[in-house]
Amino acid sequence: MTNTEIADWGNDDDVLRTRILAEPALILDDPELMRALVAASDSTLGDNIVDLRGMAMQRLESRLAQLDETHRTVIAVASENRASMDQIHRAALRLLEDDSFEESLRALDTDVAEILRLDSLRLVLERTQAWPDPALARLGEVVHVAAPGSIESYMTAGRGPVARRVVLRAAAPGAGVVHGVPEGVIGSEALLRLDLGAERLPGMLAMGSADPDQFKPGQGTDLLAFFADVLERAMRRWLA
């Protein structure tokens, strides 16, 4: 009920009384009016009187406000998760559009990086063969070749034990080399371990963001693990 609706009742006390008795819900459903009525009731009590009913109403109002805030937070998180899921799905579909291995990988640091709103996206491959490798050289900066064991060491920050499939953290020392940008540009990173099949050294997809809060420990990793699965399968198909 609004103040305008109350004003429409007129100034006749009998009319107001009759209307309130006929439609008490109009008063009960208005938080401002109820607070005013409770305050008016409290003013008639002595200082040594405790109004348990008023205290109960205040507590219920506080809980209702908390529930409302929780409801808003849940909706916001659900909306953000849906947006993230749409981004990953779009990126995965873009990765599968090309007809060659080279075109598919080149799309990583162009279209895919743009879809995921990343400042860097790089594929790290371990190889025993010395660089340059003509086949990999054609892929340009999207591929970074590292010595065997480098991926495990970087993902665990040299501390061990074996890193998780997906690592989210603030940019580690040496992030500039891994991401192919000047040191200090990357604020946070997501590292996705890639299993390229039997008898092949592991790979890693390094996602970098200048925003230090984009990737943090404790965030969900299911969508990133799904994207790693898609890239793994695409690479295995081309490498076969």
All domains in the chain, ordered by first residue: 3-49 (no CATH), 87-239 (3.30.450.40)
In whole angstroms, give the CA distance from residue 1 to residue 9: 12
Confidence of residue 234 (pLDDT cuts 50, 70, 90): confident
Q: How far is CA 57 from the centre of its chain?
A: 37
pLDDT digits (tens, 9 = 90+) for 27-36: 767 777 777 7
Give the DSSP H/E element, type plus range, for residue 161. none
Q: With H, G, I as helix, E, B as strand and everything else as coil, classify residue 121.
A: strand
Q: How far apart are CA 38 and CA 234, in angstroms?
A: 68
Burial class (CB in 10 A: 0-12, 13-18, 19+), 10: exposed
Q: What's the pLDDT score for residue 189?
A: 96
The structure tokens 């890693």 sit at 204
7 or 71, higher pLDDT: 71
Supply the Cα-derived Rg of the chain in whole angstroms.
31
pLDDT at 206: 95
- Model pTM score: 0.66
Burial pattern 193-227, b for ≥16 Cβ within 10 A else e, equals: bbebeeeeebbbbbbbbeeeebbeeeeebebbeeb
Mean pLDDT of 180-204: 90
What would the pLDDT profile of 126-162 be if each residue is shown by its tens digit? 887 655 555 555 566 788 888 888 999 899 987 766 6
Scored b (16 or more CB within 10 A) or e, 64-90 reads eeeeeeeeeeeeeeeeeeeebeeebee
CB 181 within 8 A of CB 208: yes
CA separation, residue 186 to residues 161, 190, 213 (Å):
25, 11, 11
Mean local confidence (pLDDT), 44-62: 64
**What integer pLDDT is reported at residue 17 of this predicted model?**
77
What would the pLDDT profile of 208-221 be if each residue is shown by its tens digit?
999 999 999 988 89
